[in-house]
Amino acid sequence: PVIYLVTPTYRRPEQIPDLTRLAQTLLNVPAVHWIVVEDNSALSPAIASLLKRYGIPHTHLKAQMPEKYKKSKLKPRGVANRNAALDWVRSNCKSGVVYFADDDNTYDIRLFEEMRFTKKVSMWPVGLVTKVGLSSPVVNDKGVVVDFFDGWMANRKFPVDMAGFAVSVQLILEKSDVYMPYVPGHEEDGFLKKLDVSPADIEPKANWCTQIFVWHTQTKSNTPANRTTATGKRYKGTNIDTL
Ligand code: UGA
Ligand code: MN
């Protein structure tokens, strides 16, 4: 089965470095189709050329966050992008698995073979999530998911991170009206509840959720500073201002 890997992304100085790292991870993954969805009014040429350069099978889309959410402090990040990718999958795919892979996380390539044969929904631990450093399903000695561990429960039925689950294309086609909600922090839970997943359906991966193959890393951003050369001139040698 093909893994449809959905990556929301938005313009910032760390964007190209983050996407470069993810592209070079995906070079090591067979049968993957990378759906890169920009939160932008136009497709960025730098991303188009990155996608072309690495030769990973891909689809390059754009979907902007609705204006009303852009002003809020807590934004539903990447939701418009992921929903546009769900539309693309529903019109273009018949089988396979969908994984929502944010551009800044760190992925061990062994993760992709864990999720590849997902029947409905598979789950596994994600490292470096919240202050407790881990978000994970709790699996009993029969291999059944019976509970969840997460530093932020917030009354969620599925307190999991976006990077901690994959869904079969078949289920996404069956539940043809299910999208991710524009509710910050509740995107995963809202989506999984609308897919009508029951805990008994969950396929625990990564050795019954005892191994970490993905980390919720975040690339540090710097506040812009003066860019002067050793002789006090303005530095204009590269495109650091445009990315
Ligand atoms: C955490 C979760 O890991 C996300 O999957 C979830 O969407 C987010 O919280 C949330 O609940 O809002 P976090 O590291 O805080 O993620 O968020 P980012 O990595 O900054 O954003 C998630 C994804 O959306 C990234 O791929 C990012 O490039 C994209 N994004 C972010 C946009 O497309 N537009 C934005 O304005 C911000
Ligand atoms: Mn992130």
Give the tens place of pLDDT for each residue, 216-242: 999 999 887 778 899 999 887 766 545
Confirm whether 222 is domain-assigned. Answer: no
Confirm whether 233 is domain-assigned. Answer: no
Confirm whether 223 is domain-assigned. Answer: no
Confirm whether 140 is domain-assigned. Answer: yes
Which ligand 1 atom sits nearest the alpha carbon of residue 187?
Answer: 11
Check if 81 has its Cβ closer than 6 Å to any atom of ligand 1. yes
pLDDT at 243: 46
The pair phi, psi for residue 164, each rounded to 5°, is -100, 10
Which ligand 1 atom sits nearest the alpha carbon of residue 80?
Answer: 33
Ligand nearest to the CA of 79: 1
- Dihedral, CA atoms, 28, 30, 33, 35, nearest 10 degrees? -20
Q: Whose CA is nearest to atom 36 of ligand 1?
A: 77
Structural domain including 24 reads 3-215
Check if 104 has its Cβ closer than 6 Å to any atom of ligand 1. yes
Tokens standing for 116? Answer: 């590849």
Weakest mean pLDDT among 55-59, 139-143, 186-190, 227-231:
227-231
Look at the chain and report how many structural domains it folds into.
1
Report the first-to-last Cα separation within the chain, whole angstroms: 36
Confirm whether 11 is domain-assigned. Answer: yes
Check if 82 has its Cβ closer than 6 Å to any atom of ligand 1. no
Residue 32 has pLDDT above 70, yes or no: yes
Query: Best mutation site among 9, 75, 102 for ligand 1, i.e. most ligand atoms within 8 A of its Cβ?
Result: 102
pLDDT at 81: 98
In what helix (H) or strand (E) does residue 89 lie, and over which residues does it extend? helix 79-92
Confirm whether 64 is domain-assigned. Answer: yes
Confirm whether 89 is domain-assigned. Answer: yes
Check if 105 has its Cβ closer than 6 Å to any atom of ligand 1. no
Rounded to the nearest integer, the mean pLDDT of the chain is 95
Residue 207 belongs to domain with CATH number? 3.90.550.10
Catalytic center residues: 188
Confirm whether 30 is domain-assigned. Answer: yes
pLDDT at 239: 62
Contact (CB, 8 A) for 19 and 47: yes
The model's confidence at residue 92, banded by pLDDT at 50, 70 and 90, is: very high
Per-residue pLDDT tens digits for 59-70: 999 999 999 999
Check if 102 has its Cβ closer than 6 Å to any atom of ligand 1. yes
Burial class (CB in 10 A: 0-12, 13-18, 19+), 66: exposed
Per-residue pLDDT tens digits for 164-173: 999 999 999 9
